[in-house]
Amino acid sequence: MKRVLVTGMSGTGKSALLAELAGRGYRCVDTDYGDYHEDVDGEWVWREDRIRALLSEETGEEVLFVQGTTSNQVLFYDRFDHIVLLSAPADVLMRRLATRTTNSYGKDSAELAETLEYLESVEPLLREVATLEVVTTVPVARVADAVLDHVH
């Protein structure tokens, strides 16, 4: 089974991509939900035991897509066959965060400032390890097509 990490800043369309891929029959796990995070010294990071167990599963499925962006995801890079970075220009992220209804993160001015800071400090680090970057200013179906072309 191929394991694919889908990562990126808030508002880049990670959850929308997973919904599109799930609709096409792929197994997708959004680590923003469920019991995949824990608070370590005020920072939400992946629970290593849960991520290790998830990535160890053998389900017979061709591909597993895992979505998340945490500081400790680097501990698992060697467990992924592909790391897909979703990105978008800052103005697009700001508009998406202000208008989305599925997640409240980014509505607060401090959260928005944090996201913009991460765009400058974290996104370049993700770009260095990504096997594919997709700029998500196109429809989600086209993003999914690009990701699937890369994975297969």
Domain ranges of the chain: 2-151
pLDDT tens for 104-113 read 676 678 887 8
Q: What rounded mean pLDDT belongs to the chain? A: 92
97: confidence class by pLDDT, cuts 50, 70, 90? confident
Supply the CATH classification number for the domain 2-151.
3.40.50.300
Q: What angle (nearest 5°) sits at the alpha carbon of residue 119, between those of residues 13 and 51?
A: 60
pLDDT of residue 143: 98
Query: Which pLDDT tens digit goes with each residue over 58-92?
Result: 888 899 999 999 999 999 999 999 999 999 999 99
112 vs 135, residue with greater confidence: 135
